[in-house]
Amino acid sequence: MWVPELVSNEELSSKPSRSKTQGDQMQYVITAKDLTKTYGDVTAVDGISFSVPAGEAFGLLGPNGAGKSTTMKMIGGVSQRTSGSLSIMGLDPESHGPEVRAHLGVVPQQDNLDEELKVRDNLLVYGRYFGLPMSYLRPKADELLEFAQLTDKAKSKVDALSGGMKRRLTIARSLINEPRILLLDEPTTGLDPQARHILWDRLFRLKEQGVTLILTTHYMDEAEQLCDRLIVVDKGRIMAEGSPASLIREYSTREVLELRFGSERNATIGAELEGIGERLETLPDRVLIYAHDGEAALEQVSARGLRPVTSLVRRSSLEDVFLRLTGRSLVD
Amino acid sequence: MTDQSAPAVSDAGGRGPAAPALLRAHSPAVSAARARRWGSFYYAEQVLRVMKGYGWTIVMYGVGQPVAYLFAMGVGLATLVDSQAAFGGVSYLAFIAPALLISAAVMTAANEFTFPVMDGFKWRRVYYGPHASPLTPEQIASGHIMAVTLRFLLQSAIYFVVVALFGASPSGWGWVSVLVATLAGLSFGLPLMAYAASIKEDKGQFAMVMRFIVTPLFLFSGTFFPLDSLPLAVQWIGWISPIWHGTELGRVFSYGYEEPPLLTIAHIVFLVGLAVAGWMLTKRQFVRRLGQ
Amino acid sequence: MSTLAESHNPGGHSVTEAARNRRFGPMYSRNVKAVIARGLMATKSSNWMVMLSGFFEPVLYLISMGVGLGAIVGAVQGPGGQEISYAAYIAPALLAVSAMNGAVYDSTWNVFFKMNFAKLYQGMLYTSLGPLDVAMGEIFLALLRGLLYATGFTAVMGIMGLITTPWAILMIPASVLIAFGFASFGMGITSFMKTFQQMDWINFVMLPMFLFSATFYPLSVYPQYIQWLIQAMPLWHGVELLRQISVGIFSPATAIHVGYYLVMIVLGVMLTAGRLRKLFLK
């Protein structure tokens, strides 16, 4: 089950996912149709539909409050949907909660480790919930601690761990039953850049082993790094769907020119920039010009005698896609 | 030859002395079937492991506290009150021994079924971990209850041995009071657990429960003196108190305290009824809260 | 006008300047009232019922033991050898216990939480406040609460007809003295504590002290060596002091009881100050 596929990351990203190449008969591990969840008057998830084939890394990208976590909870069979249908491994999580959850590994948004137990005991105890015998759990726990780079912390108390370590332990815990589907809700929120990179590396390895990853994030770089395919969610609805590259191609230009004229002028400069690039976006702190060639656009700006305080040419990202789709920034 | 880029998990397989090539989790179907059957026990195991971490404190609270009271009151205060007529013909020590046993279980219940429940839902969210596994909310509730029940049994048994060594449990049926204490703990604790599971914000509710419910029940349940020596204005507290019902029942077993058989049955019905109702409410509350 | 003049003073009498040059060094900035003001403000937004409930506990004990048990015990011998009711016998003892409990709670659990979880003191000490300001402020607040409870309890005693002498009013300041002794010591001890488990040990000391300090029956029931042990404990002195005041009968032992607490306060404050210096001004 843990035999790695020896493919490099580059190969992986050019090849969307393993199962897709397996032929026409696509095997979906998750299928959601018109999934809806309301809390009183508030509609958290508003009729979303998607399907995830085995082995794919599938992302839900959206700002806080978009309905990502609620969707994850419904997939995990811990939150009852209001309407619509949902099938995980061919089972309805509402009627077959234990059976569905037995297939899953779950990394919730907030760590809920048992802080009164030692690091290794957290893994053992969690494995017991799946009825796994200690003869399996003891070596498995050591294996996972090594995977999570926590071997030397095995006997520590959980509250002595850093945020990144806790997160890795939560991921290790979610793997104790060797799930083929892993749900990750905001896996790296609140971590420092180094801790995030370690985590991404671990998730890559799982992907290489053919584990289906479902993850929510509001970080576009995370979505671009990890996801084969993603849906952009806002206010409980799907705004767009596709691979990160195809979304950028469809909703943005190749490059973006970011200009800052100082907070006073940003708002009024729009008219003077008219006609440069394909599209113009004015934000409170900067102006974005979408163009195929950013350098050329910058030359045009200079030619008009405009002198921005700073200028930057970069490639388009999912952030731009989101801005285009919703008119709002992803991270407020 | 070790390939640095290979996942750590697989090279552990190559190096490990146990050669865990056979290390395979059973299928999800087996997991689910086992969890459906034994899930409550799995969660109980977790709670017991946590309890083990402060086992010493548990013994001190659960046993040291009633024994201290037993000494102070049963031996010290007894010098002032030992007119056996007032206590149904037994020594003051024998009179209060079952009462302290029951009270200790109820006070333990007041601790185990309040803050840890809040911790499960709110502070450290410990219930949400198992909830993502095949366990159901009902099983999480039942598992927690089973573990605490075991604690009641254990601390009551140790305390009972101390009482027996004092010679304060003359009847051969005295050991039954260990079960009575466990029942009393549940009949007070389970409705409280249902309440604790419904609390979303901590506004000092548990401190209020301790001071306005647990303490009065302890003091007005015929613990240190027969309930009927109190004026009616406070005597009624005993009638609705699991401590009083448990204590009277405990006295029946530990020294053959005479009361109408119907009253004995009423004690049992009261305690069992409250426990069952509390258990139902708790399960419902867990399903509701975790399923949100 | 004077403020204007001060702010233009070339000598630079700024607040921080004053703090640097203050007489008691970094330990104390003579600003206890800022800590007290914060405490009162926090009280306003806290749960009043929880505050009030602290007053009920000794009252409930008094009714239960005094009335219920009193019916069986009958009259007992008071401090001067005269017969008094059992309720009148235990009431001052319960007041002493309540002074101890309140002070210990406020100076241990409360301080422990603020020190280790809320990180309140760390925040305060980033300002011009010194550790001694914080300690004194917290102790003052604990005593204020104790004063309210003691007044309430004494009133209840009066209503129940347990007060027979005007001397009894002195029980109120005396219980503040008792609370001061426990609070100053409790805070110093708390500064050594690191985990909740260690905090539990405080209860294991308090409960036997409550039960065995001649609270519910006279010391004479014990063998001589246990009597000495109990007489070395602070609570016994508090119980005896309040019991004497409640009937207005004093003896040379009264001075010993008061002296015990005065020494305890001095040592406790010294311990606390020393610990705070070590913890916060490394």
- Spell out the residues 6+ positions from residue A127 whose beta carbon is closer than 8 angstroms to its own: A136, A137, A140, A141, A176, A177
Mark yes or no for CB contact C61/B219 under 8 Å: yes
Written as one string, the DSSP assignment of B168-179 is ---STTTTHHHH
Rounded Cα distance, C121 and C113, in Å: 10
In the complex, which subunits touch A with 3 or more CB pairs below 8 angstroms?
A: B
Residue C190's identity, in one-letter code, is T
Rounded Cα distance, A190 and A187, in Å: 9
Residue C234, sorted as left (phi over 0), alpha (psi -120 to 50) or beta, turns out to be alpha
Q: Which residues of C touch B217 (CB under 8 A)?
A: none
Domain residue extents for chain C: 2-280
Rounded Cα distance, A226 and B203, in Å: 43
Confidence of residue A280 (pLDDT cuts 50, 70, 90): confident
Question: Which residue, among C52, C60, C160, would best test binding to B if mutated, counting the most B CBs under 10 Å from its CB?
Answer: C60
Residue A322 lies in a domain: no
Give residue A163's pLDDT.
87
Rounded Cα distance, C282 and C277, in Å: 7
Cα–chain center distance at C210: 15
Give residue A328's pLDDT.
72
Query: How many distinct structural domains can be found in chain A?
Result: 2
Residue A328 lies in a domain: no
- Give the closest-approach CA distance of B292 to chain A in angstroms: 5
Residue with tokens 């008057």: A41
Cα–chain center distance at C271: 16
- Spell out the residues 6+ positions from residue B162 whose beta carbon is closer than 8 angstroms to its own: B63, B67, B70
The answer, for C211 touching chain B at a CB cutoff of 8 Å, is yes
Q: What is the CATH number of the domain that holds A52?
A: 3.40.50.300
Structure tokens that stand for C67 in this block: 């009335």
Decide if pLDDT at C9 tops 50: no
Decide if pLDDT at A29 tops 90: yes
Q: A27 and A166: one domain? A: yes
Rounded Cα distance, A220 and A316, in Å: 11
Rounded Cα distance, B111 and B107, in Å: 6
The answer, for B209 touching chain C at a CB cutoff of 8 Å, is no
Mark yes or no for CB contact B208/C222 under 8 Å: no
Mark yes or no for CB contact A177/B42 under 8 Å: no
Query: Which range among A2-11, B34-43, B104-113, C128-137 shows the weakest confidence by mean pLDDT?
Result: A2-11
Q: Which residues of A touch B42 (CB under 8 A)?
A: 128-129, 131
Mark yes or no for CB contact B130/A106 under 8 Å: no
Residue A279's domain spans which residues? 253-315
- Give the closest-approach CA distance of A50 to chain B in angstroms: 22
Q: Which residues of B touch A147 (CB under 8 A)?
A: 7-9
Burial of B266 (0-12, 13-18, 19+ CB in 10 A): middle
Of all residues in chain C, the one with the smallest CA distance to B62 is: C204
Query: Which range among A66-80, A166-180, B54-68 shows the weakest confidence by mean pLDDT?
Result: B54-68
Residue A2 lies in a domain: no
Confidence of residue A16 (pLDDT cuts 50, 70, 90): very low
- Give the closest-approach CA distance of C174 to chain B in angstroms: 25
Mark yes or no for CB contact A78/B13 under 8 Å: no
Q: What share of chain C is helix, strand, coil (3-state, %, to 5)?
A: 75, 0, 20
- More confident of the two residues A21 and A214: A214
Sheet strands (E) in chain B: none
- More confident of the two residues C93 and A294: C93
Chains C and A touch (3+ CB pairs under 8 A): no
Q: A166 and A264: one domain? A: no
Chain B 31-90, CB below 8 Å of chain A: which residues? 31-36, 38-39, 42-43, 45-46, 49-50, 53
Give residue B136's pLDDT.
94
Please, where are the H alpha helices in chain B?
8-15, 28-52, 55-59, 65-69, 78-81, 92-112, 115-118, 128-131, 137-165, 176-198, 205-209, 215-219, 232-239, 242-255, 261-290
Chain B 153-212, CB below 8 Å of chain A: which residues? none
Mark yes or no for CB contact A79/B291 under 8 Å: yes
Rounded Cα distance, B238 and B245, in Å: 8
Q: A49 and A171: one domain? A: yes
Residue with tokens 């009133």: C155
Rounded Cα distance, C177 and C181, in Å: 6
Rounded Cα distance, A88 and B64, in Å: 52
pLDDT digits (tens, 9 = 90+) for A115-131: 878 899 999 999 999 99
- Give the closest-approach CA distance of B20 to chain C in angstroms: 39
Calculate mean pLDDT across residues A87-108.
Answer: 91
- More confident of the two residues C203 and C99: C99
Sheet strands (E) in chain C: 75-77, 83-85
Structure tokens that stand for B283 in this block: 């399960």
Q: Which residues of B touch A209 (CB under 8 A)?
A: 7
Rounded Cα distance, C194 and B207, in Å: 23
* Residues paired with residue A48 on neighbouring β-strands, in sequence order: A35
Number of A/B CB contacts below 8 angstroms equals 152
Of all residues in chain B, the one with the smallest CA distance to A109 is: B128
Q: A141 and A290: one domain? A: no
3 state DSSP class of A51: strand
- CB of A223 within 8 A of CB of A60? no
User: For residue A306, how many other CB atoms are within 10 A of its CB?
Assistant: 16
Q: Which of A273-287, B213-227, C44-58, C111-125 has the highest mean pLDDT?
A: B213-227
- CB of B246 within 8 A of CB of B179? no
Q: A145 and A111: one domain? A: yes
Mark yes or no for CB contact A104/B132 under 8 Å: yes
The C-alpha R_g of chain B, in whole angstroms, comes to 23
- Give the closest-approach CA distance of B176 to chain A in angstroms: 33
Confidence of residue C31 (pLDDT cuts 50, 70, 90): confident
Calculate mean pLDDT across residues A255-284.
Answer: 82
- More confident of the two residues C1 and C202: C202
Of all residues in chain B, the one with the smallest CA distance to A121 is: B49
Rounded Cα distance, B88 and B83, in Å: 10
Give residue A9's pLDDT.
38
Sheet strands (E) in B150-196: none
pLDDT, averaged in runs of 10, over chain B (292 residues): 38 41 81 92 92 82 87 88 75 92 94 91 89 94 96 93 88 92 97 96 85 92 90 90 96 90 95 97 95 80
Give residue B81's pLDDT.
80
Residue from the list C56, C68, C222 with its beta carbon closest to the beta carbon of B229: C68
Residue from the list B72, B86, B204 with its beta carbon closest to the beta carbon of C72: B86
ipTM (interface predicted TM)? 0.83
* Beta strands at A287-291 and A279-282: parallel, antiparallel or unpaired: antiparallel
Confidence of residue A23 (pLDDT cuts 50, 70, 90): very low
Burial of C87 (0-12, 13-18, 19+ CB in 10 A): buried
Residue A212 lies in a domain: yes
Residue with tokens 């219930």: B127
Chain C 25-84, CB below 8 Å of chain B: which residues? 46-47, 49-50, 53-54, 56-57, 60-61, 63-65, 67-69, 71-73, 76
Q: A301 and A161: one domain? A: no
Written as one string, the DSSP assignment of A66-110 is SSHHHHHHHHTTSS--SEEEEEETTB-TTTSHHHHHHHEEEE-SS
Q: Which residues of A touch B133 (CB under 8 A)?
A: 101-102, 106, 126, 129-130, 177
Mark yes or no for CB contact B215/C57 under 8 Å: yes
Of all residues in chain B, the one with the smallest CA distance to C220 is: B76
Residue with tokens 């209860």: C203
Of all residues in chain B, the one with the smallest CA distance to A145 is: B9
Of all residues in chain C, the one with the smallest CA distance to B64 is: C204
User: For residue C77, how many other CB atoms are within 10 A of its CB?
Assistant: 12
Rounded Cα distance, B30 and B253, in Å: 46
Mark yes or no for CB contact A4/B23 under 8 Å: no
Q: A113 and A204: one domain? A: yes
Give residue C19's pLDDT.
53
Give residue A323's pLDDT.
86
CA-to-CA dists, residue B145 to B41, B54, C87, angstroms = 10, 18, 40
CA-to-CA dists, residue B33 to A86, A96, A180, C208, angstroms = 21, 11, 18, 51
pLDDT digits (tens, 9 = 90+) for B210-240: 888 999 999 999 999 999 888 888 899 999 9
Decide if pLDDT at A21 tops 60: no
Residue A108 lies in a domain: yes
The edge-to-edge listing of strands for the beta sheet with A28-39 is: A42-53, A28-39, A83-88
Structure tokens that stand for A306 in this block: 């405009």
Q: Which residues of B touch A113 (CB under 8 A)?
A: 124, 129
User: For residue A275, how many other CB atoms are within 10 A of its CB?
Assistant: 8
* Residues paired with residue A237 on neighbouring β-strands, in sequence order: A234
- List b or e across B109-133, with b for residues whose CB sees 16 or more CB atoms inside 10 angstroms: bbbbbbebbbbbbeebbbbbbbbbb
Structure tokens that stand for A263 in this block: 């907070």
